[in-house]
Amino acid sequence: MYAGAGKTEFTFELLVSRWAELAWHPTRGDRPTLVARQLGTQQRRWDTVVVEVDPAAFERRRALGDRGLDRDLLRVVERAPAEWEWYRDALPDPGFSWEYVRAAIHRAAGRELVETRHGTGGRVEFRRVQPYPDWVRRLIAVENKPSLDAAAADALVDQIEHDVSAGLLDEVWVATDADDADRALLETFPVEAGVLACDFGDGVTADAAAVHWHAGRLEPDETITSADREESPEAHPSYRAELAERAYDAGWRSYHETMRPDCRAFELRRAGRGLVPYCTAKACHQTASECAGSCGEFTPEPPQWRTSGWPVAGGPGKGFTRLLDRRRERHRERLEDV
């Protein structure tokens, strides 16, 4: 019997993220998705971000490598010409020094995203390896609040209003415990925000979340960029592309990078079709912030665990990390086969 993991916001968020990976969309039928956590803009960070993808275009995106493209690489790769061209002719004036653009082109070439050569007069020319695919269909944010008491709901209203009006998202949802879902309907959330009633008593299952209020379709603006004032918006990648690339890069399982899977008390425990961190020292599902080097009960794995191949090479901490990375990879592969 699985119980209790959905009570902290952090663990609830992992469960919602896994559920979204498994069962999205809650009303519009199966949609291939990438799911990420804790992504956003300077103004707003979303708990769970769902990227609905075009499978064929996603396959072409995968051909560009496993790592995401940051803003500087996107600027270059999205607009890389089919034929050799001096980079200053091929790209719009960035509004800042061209040196940074040139450095990004060389970085892109180092990742085999573009090709470079020296043309007439030693000018750096480049061309694309393949067109950057239009792989993102829709972007959705889910705000996770397992306990939606009156104070939490009030605090959320402004944030949800911002999400609905920001022009970046196609849909906005609030996910909450099934027992609190009615309260969400009493709040003054914008009517476009959907409400998901979640019951993770048996861990993650396809029907662990049900629609309590339908989300309305928003009208995102593809032209919004994160350009600073001194940058040229024409030379900037779209915010949505940036967010999608960050989602591609991080996924939702990268929490092991900031937690301490190398602590002997760290475990991953099954929660239905998901896995969530568990701390044997504290006998609970620990949060990401308490599972840090500053934790008073942190105990490093004994060195012999790492050297004796127990039970996998590198010790359990490395094993957990590999397991989470493998699951992310497996999910990406499945998306190509949809």
Q: To the nearest whole angstrom, how small is the minimum distance from the Cβ of residue 164 to ligand SF4?
A: 36
Per-residue DSSP letters for 246-292?
HHHHHTTTGGGGTS-TTBTTEEEEEEBTEEEEEETTTTB---TTTSS
Among 295, 320, 324, 335, binds ligand SF4 (CB under 6 A): 295
Instruction: Output phi, psi for 284, to 5 deg.
Output: -160, 170
Pairing status of strand 45-53 against strand 33-40: antiparallel
| 265 binds ligand SF4 per the rule CB under 6 A | yes
Window contacting ligand SF4 (CB under 6 A); options: 93-101, 212-220, 289-297, 312-320:
289-297
CA distances from 129 to 33, 74, 123, 241, 269 (A): 26, 14, 19, 19, 42
User: Could you give the string, one character per residue 110-149, with x where binding to ligand SF4 holds by CB under 6 A and - elsewhere?
Assistant: ----------------------------------------
What number of chain residues touch ligand SF4 (CB under 6 A)?
13
Separation between Cα atoms, residue 241 and residue 72, nearest integer Å: 12
Q: Which of 14, 263, 275, 276 binds ligand SF4 (CB under 6 A)?
A: 263
Q: What are phi and psi of 17, to 5 degrees?
A: -65, -45
Q: Which is nearer to ligand SF4, 6 or 317 (CB)?
A: 317
Contact flag: residue 44 with ligand SF4 (CB under 6 A):
no
DSSP-assigned letter for residue 3: -
Q: Is residue 93 within 8 Å of 235, Cβ to Cβ?
A: yes
Residue with tokens 């902290």: 8
Taking the least distance from each CB to ligand SF4, the nearer of 9 and 78 is: 9
Whole-angstrom CA distances from 237 to 231, 288, 302 are 11, 32, 47
Residue 5 contacts ligand SF4 per CB under 6 A: no
Q: Which residues pair with 37 in a beta bridge?
A: 48
| Binder among 70, 290, 325, 336 for ligand SF4 (CB under 6 A) | 290
Is 173 in contact with 194 (CB distance < 8 Å)? yes
Which positions from 233 through 262 interact with ligand SF4, judged by CB under 6 A? Answer: 260
| Nearest residue (CB) to ligand SF4, 32 versus 316 | 316
Binding of ligand SF4 by 73 (CB under 6 A): no
Q: Is 298 in the site for ligand SF4 (CB under 6 A)?
A: yes
Among the listed residues 66, 112, 297, 333, the single contact to ligand SF4 using CB under 6 A = 297
What minimum distance in Å lies between the beta carbon of 2 and ligand SF4? Answer: 19
Dihedral (Cα; 271, 277, 282, 287), 10-degree rounding: -110
**Nearer Cβ to ligand SF4 (157/281):** 281
| Contacting ligand SF4 within 266-285 (CB under 6 A) | 266, 279, 281-282
The residue ranges that bind ligand SF4 (CB under 6 A) are 260, 263, 265-266, 279, 281-282, 286, 290-291, 295, 297-298
